[in-house]
């Protein structure tokens, strides 16, 4: 007999053999109600259930109305009869002028159950359907979640920490939010390019670099380079009160040197140091875009030239905007108090917004203009590319930017400028710009405060991400050693658990909610946290290891022996693809975080379930043959789905804890 190994059990990529799935009247729970044999229409994920049921109800309604309304399919709440249901009779009642309960009865009479559905039943004005546990659970465990190729390229820009100091927890939300969104979009079938913008010509970088010269300091390698520059940055801010003129002159001179590219190597060293932090968090990037390259590439002039050809841009000859280049955004942003936006002042100086517009046009593929070179090899082995003067415009045949959808992860305080930049895409009058305008989004997130106080790198009111990660790992290691002192790789497991807790704390809330960073909440290892989900995963993995040790084979599964408890757990597993798609549409990782908690809770509830006699009744390895293997296959699906959910959030899933 073929015996599957642990890896095969966990992936469960093959289709298990066993009973055919035709409806059995000897099922442990009689749900048939005299149901007719159903046509073969398999479904294994929640959106497939929705499609199959919607089609079946649409056919049942066809004789009642010429144009059926939208048919919502919902999970039936716990404690109510059935598995899925629809309130469609209410909307039909308005069309037909009849009581919804009567209409529900007519629909049930005409309903032809798709495969896996035993029957429909009218519960007053609602229609609930009952699934066949054997068919549904088998379809769930035999199907590996996949996503269609969307045919859309998405550029996600996130992180963009000024290259003058260490990253702090105020940046943490941006990094993990952008990273999770990128993972979710990629898993949902989009081509994703992750960009990190490097503001190497800004005042912050100039101040840190000048501070080293002003104080006569040289880095000795004892402290991480970005932390070293961060301390100098704070010192220079304090010294401005004593010698403001000298410092201002020195900073301005340093800014000019940055613009000429003379100090790029120094900034690159800071960026390399920051990347160590980002990589330790689990974030990786495809491209670093340097502001100095955006400036020297002529994006500003080219972007303005595109807009000047648009009917929405003009140079008024009189009035308060006389001599300026302005764009009129009222058609795309109705309700603004002032719909005329200045791009270039009458004195010829461009507004900062104009540079952002040119950069956005490049992202959308309205024009090219950058060269590229390798910058670093990332932990995954992937090459991190950087914009570079004189670099290859198409390295390895690749074209950067040129996206049909643009996602800018920037805090909510930049909402108005981001709205104007997006509107400029539509005003460009180009096909690429109009398409990117329709699809592009500003993922605005609220700020992170530090124990009730706004953070300020200039004032030193921060908490470094490096310090938080170290503390997270230390706390997790103490817990792991206490609960499982013999655990192999305890240090690495502690890293996974601590980092998971930190990322989850930043992702479980909606982006529009302010997060106040407090140690006990951010590093919570219990309750609604990543470790809770990770432990559920480890529990499932332990059962699979036990099954492998005794040579169990899921090919011997008899799904007809499964009942309501397995069906309920499988329904939660089946929600994964619809949750992922919803999170991709809404750019909302918190939906995945909540789903992971739901699945972990459903799995723990199943694992700990007791029958009417008070004895455990969901044992996997001690169950009777056939039922044992069927439950084992379901456990493999639970483990896989928990791991996939955590992976979308950038969180690892330990096999033991």
The pLDDT value recorded for residue 6 is: 36
Mean pLDDT of 318-336: 90
The CA-to-CA distance between both ends of the chain, in Å, stands at: 32
The pLDDT value recorded for residue 460 is: 65
pLDDT band at 47 (very low <50, low <70, confident <90, very high): low
Mean pLDDT of 116-134: 95
pLDDT digits (tens, 9 = 90+) for 85-107: 999 999 999 889 999 999 999 99
The pLDDT value recorded for residue 591 is: 98
The pLDDT value recorded for residue 22 is: 29
With pLDDT > 90 as the criterion, what percentage of the chain qualifies?
Answer: 79
Mean pLDDT of 118-133: 96
Give the residue range(s) of CATH 1.10.730.10 domains in the chain. 465-648
Half-sphere exposure of 262 (CA within 13 A, CB side): 10
Query: Could you tell me the maximum CA-CA distance found in the chain, to the nearest angstrom?
Result: 90
The pLDDT value recorded for residue 68 is: 80
Q: Is the pLDDT of residue 26 over 90?
A: no
b/e per residue 128-147 (b: at least 16 CB within 10 A):
bbbbbbbbbbbbbbbbebee
The pLDDT value recorded for residue 517 is: 83
pLDDT digits (tens, 9 = 90+) for 393-447: 999 999 999 999 999 999 999 999 999 999 999 999 899 999 999 999 999 999 8
- Measure the CA–CA gap between 563 and 623, rounded to whole angstroms: 13
Nearest to 439 by CA among 533, 360, 331, 554: 360
Q: Who wins on pLDDT, 453 or 321?
A: 321
Q: And the tokens for 42?
A: 């398999």
pLDDT band at 144 (very low <50, low <70, confident <90, very high): confident
pLDDT band at 633 (very low <50, low <70, confident <90, very high): very high
Q: Which residues pair with 191 in a beta bridge?
A: 153
Three-state SS letters, 502-549: HHHHHHCCCCCCCEEECHHHHCCCCCCCHHHHHHHHHHHHHHHHHHHH
Q: Who wins on pLDDT, 2 or 422?
A: 422
CATH superfamily for domain 153-450: HUPs (3.40.50.620)
The pLDDT value recorded for residue 145 is: 83
The pLDDT value recorded for residue 2 is: 28
Q: Which residues pair with 406 in a beta bridge?
A: 155
Element (H, E) at 67: none
With respect to CATH, is domain 32-131 assigned 3.20.20.210? no
What is the pTM (predicted TM-score) of this model?
Answer: 0.89
With pLDDT > 70 as the criterion, what percentage of the chain qualifies?
Answer: 92
Q: Is the pLDDT of residue 18 over 90?
A: no
Mean pLDDT of 478-499: 94
- Measure the CA–CA gap between 74 and 605, rounded to whole angstroms: 22
Q: Is the pLDDT of residue 374 over 80?
A: yes
The pLDDT value recorded for residue 147 is: 82
Q: H helices within 283-338, ranges in order?
A: 291-296, 299-308
Q: Which residues pair with 450 in a beta bridge?
A: 453, 517
Q: Which CATH number fits domain 465-648: 1.10.730.10, 3.40.50.800, 1.10.3720.10, 3.40.50.300?
A: 1.10.730.10
The pLDDT value recorded for residue 7 is: 38
pLDDT digits (tens, 9 = 90+) for 161-191: 999 999 999 899 999 999 999 999 999 999 9
Interacting residues of 319 by C-beta distance below 8 A, sequence separation 6+:
none
Q: Is the pLDDT of residue 390 over 80?
A: yes
The pLDDT value recorded for residue 35 is: 34
Is residue 532 within 8 A of residue 494, CB to CB? The reply is: no
Q: Output phi, psi for 288, to 5 deg.
A: -95, 125
Mean pLDDT of 468-478: 93
Give the residue range(s) of CATH 3.40.50.620 domains in the chain. 153-450
Q: Output phi, psi for 208, to 5 deg.
A: -65, -45
Min mean pLDDT across 376-385, 451-460, 611-620 is at: 451-460
Q: Is the pLDDT of residue 556 over 50?
A: yes
Q: And the tokens for 432?
A: 């690429």
The pLDDT value recorded for residue 521 is: 80
- Beta strand pairing call for 191-198 and 287-290: parallel
pLDDT digits (tens, 9 = 90+) for 439-465: 999 999 998 888 777 777 666 677 999
Q: Is the pLDDT of residue 211 over 80?
A: yes
Q: Who wins on pLDDT, 148 or 378?
A: 378
Give the residue range(s) of CATH 3.30.1360.70 domains in the chain. 32-131
Q: Who wins on pLDDT, 1 or 585?
A: 585
Q: Who wins on pLDDT, 120 or 23?
A: 120
Mean pLDDT of the chain: 90
């Amino acid at each position: 007999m073929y015996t599957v190994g642990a890896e095969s059990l966990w992936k469960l990529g093959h289709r298990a053999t066993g009973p055919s799935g035709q409806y059995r009247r000897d099922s442990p729970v009689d749900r048939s109600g005299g149901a007719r044999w159903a046509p073969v229409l398999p479904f294994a994920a929640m959106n497939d259930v929705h499609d199959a049921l919607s089609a079946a109800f649409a056919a049942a309604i066809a004789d009642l109305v010429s144009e059926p309304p939208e048919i919502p399919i919902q999970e039936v709440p716990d404690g109510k009869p059935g598995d899925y249901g629809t309130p469609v009779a209410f909307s039909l009642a308005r069309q037909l002028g009849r009581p919804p309960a009567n209409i529900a009865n007519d629909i049930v009479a005409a309903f032809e159950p798709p495969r896996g559905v035993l029957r429909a039943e009218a519960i007053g004005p609602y229609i609930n359907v009952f699934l066949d546990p054997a068919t549904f659970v088998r379809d769930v465990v035999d199907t590996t979640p996949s996503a269609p190729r969307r045919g859309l390229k998405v550029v996600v820009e996130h992180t963009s920490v000024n290259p003058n100091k260490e990253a702090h927890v105020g940046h943490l939300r941006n990094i993990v939010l952008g990273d999770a969104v990128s993972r979710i979009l990629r898993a949902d079938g989009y081509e994703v390019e992750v960009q990190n913008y490097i503001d190497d010509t800004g005042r912050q970088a100039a101040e840190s670099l000048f501070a080293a010269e002003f104080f006569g300091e040289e880095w000795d390698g004892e402290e991480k380079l970005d932390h070293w520059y961060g301390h100098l940055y704070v010192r220079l801010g304090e010294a401005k009160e004593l010698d403001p003129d000298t410092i201002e002159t020195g900073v301005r001179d340093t800014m000019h040197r940055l613009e000429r590219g003379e100090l790029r190597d120094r900034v690159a060293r800071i960026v390399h140091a920051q990347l160590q932090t980002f990589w330790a968090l689990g974030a990786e990037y495809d491209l670093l875009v340097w502001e100095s390259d955006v400036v020297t590439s002529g994006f500003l002039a080219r972007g303005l030239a595109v807009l000047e050809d648009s009917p929405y841009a003009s140079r008024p000859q009189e009035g308060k905007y006389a001599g300026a280049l302005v764009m009129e955004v009222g058609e795309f942003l109705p309700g603004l108090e002032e719909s005329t936006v200045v791009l270039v002042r009458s004195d010829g100086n461009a507004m900062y917004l104009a540079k952002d517009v040119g950069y956005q046009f490049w992202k959308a593929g309205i024009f090219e203009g950058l060269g590229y070179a390798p910058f670093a090899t990332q932990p995954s082995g992937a090459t991190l590319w950087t914009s570079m003067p004189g670099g290859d415009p198409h390295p390895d045949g690749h074209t950067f930017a040129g996206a049909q959808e643009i996602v800018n992860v920037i805090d909510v305080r930049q909402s108005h400028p981001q709205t104007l930049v997006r509107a400029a895409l539509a005003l460009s009058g180009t096909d690429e710009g109009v398409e990117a305008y329709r699809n592009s989004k500003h993922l605005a997130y609220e700020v992170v405060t530090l124990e009730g106080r706004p953070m300020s790198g200039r004032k030193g009111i921060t908490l470094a991400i490096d310090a938080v990660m170290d503390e997270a790992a230390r706390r997790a290691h103490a817990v792991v050693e206490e609960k499982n002192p013999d655990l192999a790789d305890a240090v690495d497991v502690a890293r996974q658990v601590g980092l998971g807790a930190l990322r989850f704390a930043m992702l479980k809330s909606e982006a529009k909610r302010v997060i106040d960073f407090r140690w006990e909440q951010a590093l919570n290892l219990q309750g609604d946290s990543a470790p809770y989900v990770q432990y559920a995963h480890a529990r499932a993995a332990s059962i699979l290891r036990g099954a492998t040790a005794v040579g169990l084979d899921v090919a011997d599964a008899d799904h007809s022996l499964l009942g309501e408890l397995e069906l309920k757990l499988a329904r939660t597993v089946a929600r994964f693809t619809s949750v992922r798609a919803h999170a991709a549409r809404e750019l909302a990782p918190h939906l995945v975080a909540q789903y992971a908690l739901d699945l972990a809770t459903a799995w723990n509830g199943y694992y700990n379930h007791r029958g009417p006699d008070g004895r455990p009744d969901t044992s996997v390895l001690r169950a009777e043959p056939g039922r044992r293997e069927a439950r084992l296959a379901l456990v493999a699906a639970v483990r896989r789905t928990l791991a996939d959910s955590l992976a979308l959030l950038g969180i690892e899933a330990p096999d033991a804890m």
